[in-house]
Amino acid sequence: MSKETEVCLITTGGTIASVYDSETHALRPGLSVDALLESLPRKTGSVKVVNRELLQLDSANAQPHHWQKIASEIKSVHDEMPDLDGIVITHGTDTMVYSASAVSLMVQDFGKPIVFTGAQIPAQVPWSDGPRNIVDAFRVAAFGDIGETCIVFNGEIHRATRTKKVRSNAYDAFDSMDPSPIGILARDIVLYEGRKKRHNLVPKFDTRIDDRVFLLKVFPGMPPGILSRIVDMGYHGIVVEGFGSGNIPTMENSLGGAIRQAVNQGCHVVISSQCVFGQAEPSVYEVGRAAMEAGAISAYDMTSEAALVKLTWILGHTHDEDRVREMMVNNYVGEISASLTPGGGYDNQGRL
């Protein structure tokens, strides 16, 4: 007799679970997990769903300790039900990529799909995209040959650490930042090579973080003293979004000296790119090389969101400069294209 297909649904709030508040005349999370499931057109079919109502949070209010809470709940579910086929997490779209990226790092080698999804329109509204996204997420969690954390939205499956929210109102809110999505949902689940596949390795749960990491976008005229102010505020890491391929000003309002000073004070500086597609290649231009010569670390083609989350997670383990640099350029969960890193990448079994 075959095992019953079973997934766990962990709800955290977001637009998908929002209701209209007549007092504030605005949407707020408040829909119960049972009501959320009732919104599905044909319920969950042959898939048994175990419910966990974890949070009722607008994701704009999500903090790093909420990432830890979600990861800890995944561990709890795994300990209680090790034979689950997968996990679905409903989450607000605004900060979904941060939470999903954090879970990718905090829960490694899980071996089954951990699927984040949500909606642009509340689930109880007739034209909501929520019910479809939940059903798609259940399909991937139950039947998809995926062994990593992903975001399922609008018929696409994205690697969590390679995703950005690129549209605020349209149904196709998310996109993968080079390479393409790892799969699509059509009549069948269509999965592409390069994903991490299901496996039976022992999961690693590690929620240690240091949330004193700042994300700074460079702009013309930005005074270099901002970096020293950030360090003085007690931040231990800064992700600097440079222009183009990670370039910074080197003449008027030069940032080179400010980066060097921050690094000398023990603050770890990572250079990413403001561009949606592409990568930080600071060695290409003189204005990019200045940051590297000052002691910054390249984010390669990591998204700024993934770079911030990764630095937060790394600093929860070590503040040693050489070790932080080594860990930042290591490809843990597909957050960096393997061809760009000094080593790393998935083997043909999807293992790092």
Contact criterion met (CB below 8 Å) for 350 and 196: yes
Q: How many CB atoms lie within 10 A of CB 337?
A: 17
Annotated active-site residue in 145, 165, 211, 341: 165
Q: How many CB atoms lie within 10 A of CB 313?
A: 25
Nearest by Cα to 110 from 199, 192, 191: 199
Q: Kindly write down the DSSP assignment for every residue of 94-162, as one continuous string.
A: TTHHHHHHHHHHHEES--S-EEEE--SS-TTSTT-SHHHHHHHHHHHHHH----SEEEEETTEEEEGGG
Annotated active-site residue in 11, 15, 163, 303: 15
Place of tokens 């843990």: 332
Q: Give dist(CA 183, CA 272) in Å, integer.
A: 26
CA distances from 88 to 53, 100, 138, 178, 298 (A): 12, 11, 7, 24, 33
Contact criterion met (CB below 8 Å) for 87 and 8: yes
Decide if 79 is catalytic. no
Annotated active-site residue in 5, 69, 90, 94: 94
Bridge partners (DSSP) listed for residue 151: 116, 158
Helical residues (DSSP H) of the chain, grouped into ranges: 33-38, 64-80, 96-106, 130-143, 225-232, 256-264, 286-293, 304-315, 321-328
Decide if 15 is catalytic. yes
Decide if 93 is catalytic. yes
Nearest by Cα to 64 from 241, 238, 208, 231: 208
Decide if 94 is catalytic. yes
CA distances from 84 to 102, 106, 215 (A): 21, 19, 37
Nearest by Cα to 215 from 105, 101, 107: 101
Annotated active-site residue in 93, 161, 163, 312: 93
Q: What are the residue numbers of the active site?
A: 15, 93-94, 165
